[in-house]
Amino acid sequence: MIKHIVMWRLKETAHGSSKQENAIKIKGMLEDLRGKIPGMINIEVGIDFSLTDSSSDVVLYSEFATRADLENYQAHPEHKAVMPFILEARIERRVVDYEI
């Protein structure tokens, strides 16, 4: 099983909306991918409430059956459709992919 974890720090404003509004929209957009990507076993999206200097604003936790399934997710049109919104809203991205 492959675990794919991504954390974003967001701009204070983007798309004419606040950081919190964009975090909520990103959460919804990513959660909407559930059931649409073959090989995706699980997806969770969380919004940080601690608001510390070292916090990220949004985290994605997802699981895939194989590395090939993760690669297919990255290239899937539904996933690609979400990316421009996130790219415009973020200032930083961190990712960890690992196999168990």
pLDDT in tens, 48-76: 999 899 999 999 999 999 999 999 999 99
Residues of the domain holding 36: 2-99
pTM: 0.94
User: 85: domain CATH number?
Assistant: 3.30.70.100
pLDDT confidence of 45, banded at 50, 70, 90? very high
pLDDT for 94 equals 98
pLDDT for 8 equals 98
Please state, for a pLDDT cut of 90, what percent of the chain lies above it: 99
What is the total count of domains within the chain?
1
What is the amino acid identity at position 99? E
